[in-house]
Chains A and B, each alone.
Chain A
Amino acid sequence: QSVLTQPPSASGTPGQRVTISCSGSSSNIGGNTVNWYQQLPGTAPKLLIYSNNQRPSGVPDRFSGSKSGTSASLAISGLQSEDEADYYCAAWDDSLNGVLFGGGTKLTVL
């Protein structure tokens, strides 16, 4: 199975900027768009970034996404305690003919 690779954990202090990386291959990130989901503890995932760098209405502009080649990243600026959550990247995989998720990154606000 293909895989999107994320760091298992990330951390920062309030007000800091943190980035979470997502690495894939030509069959997924390289040829398709990347989306990011936020999952707060005990809740369902929520769409955070779509089409590489677009924010749904209601998502603060502190969250931004980017993609280059077969990698993508999520940046969170002005870190807040309520940002403490699991973050997942996702992209369509042409080999799987379905959606591939990254393993998730647990963000801790120190």
Chain B
Amino acid sequence: EVQLVESGGGLVQPGGSLRLSCAASGFTFSSYWMSWVRQAPGKGLEWVANIKHDGSEKYYVDSVKGRFTISRDNAKNSLYLQMNSLRAEDTAVYYCAKRRGCTSSRCNLGYFDYWGQGTLVTVSS
């Protein structure tokens, strides 16, 4: 059974940092692109970042470029999101998601087939 379990959320002051983790199990983690998707309170879903199965390629939504870093440790079956210079508008539930249907070079035909339960990040003074 595929499981994605996020952790690391919490309350942080504006300008602060937080590192989210996602522990994966039930599938060959090193074979899949992975992503972070967030949802602000009462709002819709927003894709945040993608990382290729081997970590060699990373993509970000413009609003987090230069502040957030996605990474993975295939030996530990874990995905991470380092969030720096946090702003109030980063307040959201952050979901880890497995992306299926990607090739070795492109992910445009892929989809999120499994999601974690989410971890809440609150940026407030």
Contact surface of A with B, Cβ cutoff 8 Å: 1, 31-33, 35, 37, 39, 44-47, 50-51, 56, 86, 88, 90, 92, 94, 96-104
B residues less than 8 Å from A46 (CB atoms): 115
- With the chains together, A37 CA to B44 CA distance in Å? 11
A residues less than 8 Å from B37 (CB atoms): 45, 99, 101
Q: How many residues of B contact A (CB 8 A)?
A: 26
CB-defined interface of B84-123 with A at 8 Å, one 1/0 digit per residue? 0000000000010000010000011111111111100000
Which of B35, B49, B61, B62 has the largest count of A CB atoms less than 10 A from its CB? B61
- A99 and B113 in contact, given A44-B95, A51-B101, A92-B107 (Cβ under 8 angstroms): no
A residues less than 8 Å from B95 (CB atoms): 44-45
User: Which of chain A's residues has its CB closest to B60's CB?
Assistant: A98
A residues less than 8 Å from B109 (CB atoms): 32-33, 51, 92
B residues less than 8 Å from A100 (CB atoms): 47
Using a CB-CB cutoff of 8 Å, which residues 16-59 of chain B contact chain A?
Answer: 35, 37, 44-47, 49-50, 59
Report the minimal beta-carbon distance from B65 to chain A, rounded to whole angstroms.
11
Question: Contact at B115–A44, with CB atoms within 8 Å?
Answer: yes
B residues less than 8 Å from A92 (CB atoms): 107-110
Which of B44, B47, B49, B101 has the largest count of A CB atoms less than 10 A from its CB? B44
Question: Contact at A37–B62, with CB atoms within 8 Å?
Answer: no
